Amino acid sequence: MGAQLRLLRRRIKSVKSTAKITRAQELIASSRIVKAQQRMQAAVPYEREITRAVSGVVSNTASVDHPLTVAKEQPATAGVLIITSDSGFCGGYNANVLREAEALRGLLEERGIRAVPFVTGRKGVTWHTFRSREMGGRWEGFSRRPSYADAKEIAGTLIESFKENDGIDEIHVVYTEFVSMLTQQVIVKRILPLEVEEAEVADEAIPPYFEFEPTAPEVLNSLLPRYVESRIFNALLQSAASEEASRRRAMKSATDNANELIGVFTRQMNQARQAEITQEISEIVGGANALADAAAGKE
Q: Write out pLDDT tens, residues 181-197.
A: 888 999 999 888 876 55
How many domains are contained in the chain? 1
Query: Alpha-carbon distance 180 to 234, whole Å?
Result: 16
3-class DSSP state of 160: helix
CB-CB contact of 253 with 77 (8 Å): no
Give residue 8's pLDDT: 86
Residue 120 host element (H or E): strand 114-120
- φ/ψ of 186, rounded to 5, equals -80, 130
How far separated are the first and last CA of the chain, in Å rounded?
Answer: 39
Residue 15 domain flag: no
* Element containing residue 176 per DSSP (H, E): strand 170-178
Q: How many CB atoms lie within 10 A of CB 274?
A: 10
Q: Is residue 56 part of a domain?
A: no
Does the structure show a pLDDT above 70 at 101? yes
* pLDDT at residue 201 in the model: 47
How far is the C-alpha of 201 from the C-alpha of 199, rounded, in Å? 6
Residue 143 falls within a domain, yes or no?
Answer: yes
pLDDT of residue 285: 82
CB contact at 8 A, 54 and 73: no
80 domain residue, yes or no: yes
Residue 25, in any domain of the structure = no
Examine the pLDDT at 215 and tell me if it is beyond 90. no
pTM score above 0.75: yes
Helix, coil or strand: residue 279: helix
Residue 51 located in a structural domain: no
**Burial of residue 197, with CB atoms counted within 10 A of its CB: 0-12 exposed, 13-18 middle, 19 or more buried:** exposed
Question: Dmax over Cα atoms in the chain, in whole Å?
Answer: 127
Within a domain: 265: no
Higher pLDDT, 284 or 232: 232
Q: Quick check: is 295 in a domain?
A: no
**Is 18 buried (19+), middle (13-18) or exposed (0-12) by CB count in 10 A?**
middle
Residue ranges making up the domain that contains 113: 64-196+210-246
CATH number at residue 230: 3.40.1380.10
**Contact residues for 3 (Cβ-Cβ < 8 A; gap 6+):** none
| Closest listed residue to residue 97, CA positions, set 168, 29, 179, 187 | 187
